[in-house]
């Protein structure tokens, strides 16, 4: 079998959080194109249903849509149980739901700090450990988390201390789980995207005025596209990445290189 055939995901069951839009929807589409059955998980159930329907129509994937707020432990556990009930197993997951808030640190309320940390970091912990418990029993599985280049550098000029701290936390959580589970067949990796054109960046009133500046700062002179993250997650979800665990794959057009 050639390498491209080996990278296919036929018959694999995978869930994607934040799957209703942006990076999550784009990656879910690619996972389905590679042969996986994909559960679209989002707090926005209408968006999740729409994405699941579009992906099923385009690829033939047996998709489902599941409503879940990743900050709620009981909802996360019910979501994982529903995915396993539907497909009989869980081969991989993409814990990707996240938000960004741009508030100067001295003005940030405790509620604002907690909201970002709860969704971006605690949400990944709840999903990764709920999925991990299933995968540890199975003896296999691939967990992929979304961090950010903001876990490596402080982006300027927008102030986003909670976001940066949450994403640095996702990177170290990923490495910690990878080491704890290294001998079990369960792998844990994360991706650290640079600026990507999605709702989070293009449709935020606070961020819109900064796009021209980011383009100036970017070595490639542009934002990335969600499709430019697809193949990395397909790789991490599949069997050809069997020796890749504890990795944080930066996909940022060299933004963090200097
Ligand atoms: P997006 O806003 O297009 O998508 C985020 C999705 O997460 C939405 O569908 C939203 O409904 C969902 N969501 C939000 N809170 C949730 C919750 N509590 N429970 C379940 N779902 C929830 O944003 P995006 O740009 O596609 O971002 C996806 C991930 O990529 C985020 O973790 C983000 O931090 C990260 N990221 C984005 C960029 C970028 O430039 N766009 C760069 C680096 C990292």
Ligand 1 atom with the shortest distance to the CA of 120: 32
Is the CB–ligand 1 distance for residue 51 below 6 Å?
A: no
Distance (angstroms) between ligand 1 centre and the Cα of 117 equals 13
135: CA distance to ligand 1 center in Å? Answer: 24
Domains of the chain: 3-248 (3.40.50.720)
Answer whether 172's CB lies under 8 Å from 151's CB: no
Distance 194 CA to ligand 1 centre (A): 13
Q: Is the CB of 79 under 6 A from ligand 1?
A: no
CB of 69 closer than 6 angstroms to any ligand 1 atom? yes
Tell me how far the alpha carbon of residue 1 lies from the centroid of ligand 1, in angstroms.
36
12, 142, 167, 192: which one is catalytic? 167
**Annotated catalytic residue 115:** no
> What number is the ipTM of this complex?
0.99
pLDDT (tens, 9 = 90+) of the chain, 258 residues, equals 999 999 999 999 999 999 999 999 999 999 999 999 999 999 999 999 999 999 999 999 999 999 999 999 999 999 999 999 999 999 999 999 999 999 999 999 999 999 999 999 999 999 999 999 999 999 999 999 999 999 999 988 899 999 999 999 999 999 999 999 999 999 999 999 999 999 888 888 878 889 999 999 999 999 999 999 999 999 999 999 999 999 999 999 999 998
The answer to whether the CB of 162 falls within 8 A of the CB of 108 is: yes
Tell which one of 41, 47, 97, 230 to mutate to probe ligand 1, the residue whose CB is within 8 A of the most ligand atoms: 97
Is 208 an annotated catalytic residue? no
Q: What is the pTM of this model?
A: 0.98
In the sheet that holds 64-67, the strands lie side by side as 64-67, 37-42, 13-17, 92-95, 141-146, 186-193, 248-251
Candidate list 142, 148, 192, 241, residue with the active-site label: 148
Report the Cα–Cα distance between both ends of the chain, in Å, rounded.
40
Q: Are 253 and 218 in contact (CB under 8 A)?
A: yes
* 166 catalytic per annotation: no
Residue nearest to atom 23 of ligand 1 (CA): 200
Atom 36 (ligand 1): residue with closest C-alpha?
148
Please list, residue by residue across 224-254, b when 16 or more beta carbons sit within 10 angstroms of its beta carbon and e when fewer do: bebebbbebbbbbbbeebeeebbbbbbbbbe
Distance 67 CA to ligand 1 centre (A): 15
- Ligand 1, atom 19, lies closest to the CA of 69
């Amino acid at each position: 079998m050639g390498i491209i055939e080996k990278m296919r995901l036929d018959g694999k069951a995978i869930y994607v959080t934040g799957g209703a839009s942006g990076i999550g929807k784009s990656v879910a589409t690619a996972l389905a194109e590679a042969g996986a059955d994909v559960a679209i998980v989002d707090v926005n159930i209408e968006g999740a249903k729409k994405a699941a329907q579009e992906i099923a129509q385009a690829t033939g994937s047996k998709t489902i849509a599941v409503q879940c707020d990743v900050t709620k432990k009981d909802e996360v556990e019910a979501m994982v149980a529903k995915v396993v009930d539907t497909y009989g197993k869980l081969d991989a997951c993409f814990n990707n739901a996240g938000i960004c808030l741009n508030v100067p640190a001295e003005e940030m309320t405790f509620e604002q700090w907690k909201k970002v940390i709860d969704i971006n970091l605690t949400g990944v912990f709840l999903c990764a450990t709920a999925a991990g418990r299933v995968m540890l029993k199975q003896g296999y599985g691939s967990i992929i988390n979304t961090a950010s280049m903001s876990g490596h550098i402080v982006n300027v000029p927008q102030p986003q201390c909670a976001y940066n701290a949450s994403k640095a936390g996702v990177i170290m959580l990923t490495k910690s789980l990878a080491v704890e589970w290294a001998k079990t067949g369960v792998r844990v990796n994360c991706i650290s995207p640079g600026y990507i054109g999605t709702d989070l960046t293009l449709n935020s009133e606070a961020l819109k005025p900064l796009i021209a500046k980011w383009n100036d700062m970017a070595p490639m002179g542009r934002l990335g596209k969600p499709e430019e993250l697809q193949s990395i997650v397909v790789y991490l979800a599949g069997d050809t990445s069997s020796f890749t665990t504890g990795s944080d794959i930066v996909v940022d057009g060299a933004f963090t290189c200097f």
